[in-house]
Amino acid sequence: MAPPTVVLITGVGRGIGKALAAAYLLHPDHIVIGTLRDPKAPQAEELKSLPVGSGSHILLVGIENTSLTDPKKAVESIEANGIDHIDIVIANSGVSIGAGPLETADPKAFVDSFNINVLSGVVLFQAVNKLLTKSSAPKWISVTSRGGSTGAPLPWYPYAAAYCMSKAAQNWFSQTLHVANASLTAFAIHPGFVLTDMGVAAATGAGIDLPVTSSEASANKIIDLISSATRESLSGKFLDVDTREEIPW
């Protein structure tokens, strides 16, 4: 009997993370490990009541994204629940704060953005790597942004300097995972302009129309991309989920 497919998704409390968890749970024989700041929060009960496919279930673990120790504790909890490998990690958690032009941007916003959008992923990888290496086909997906591209930046992103600069650093980290780990399929994705709290805030700040893509539609496109991804086809790349276009780093 084949082992279950184990998927770890950070930030499942809302938005794309929640939609990804819900979609993966509908697949048979899947264990979805979802991270929340507080796994006892009201959001947790809603997540536990999501419909599941045959042989599938969800495990919620607590990770506060500025913590340097929570990921290690989360892995201990994962192992205590009898899970001995992880097949897919989707580093979805992120924050966009301190919007404004560079002339007036709060320096603290840059520090906080780096800690959450970059350092949390590094600490998570260090904690879960031993379980990833036990998968027959491990995958790491960084949910980043086209705004982090230094090769093809979009014109309405300068107001979100802290966010974009941190995403550029996250992109470096994602590409380096590919280079440094010969058995890992690691790539970064721009999920598109999605109707989430962050998407609405970005549209409002940039003075453009609100996004129309739902979290559920975005999640399904992301899962389709992940399911077909191989080391040879996508690892080390930065992709637009909507168009499958490769974005310059």
The residues that are catalytic are 163, 167
* The total number of residues written for the chain in this structure: 249
CB-based contacts of 206-212 (< 8 A; 24+ apart in sequence): 206/156, 206/157, 206/159, 207/156, 208/156
DSSP state of 87: S
Distance between CA 187 and CA 30 in Å, rounded? 22
Distance between CA 194 and CA 211 in Å, rounded? 5
Q: Strands of 5-9's sheet, edge to edge?
A: 57-62, 30-36, 5-9, 88-91, 139-143, 185-190, 238-240
| Amino acid symbol at 231 | R
DSSP, residue by residue, 235-247 = TT-EEETTT-PBP
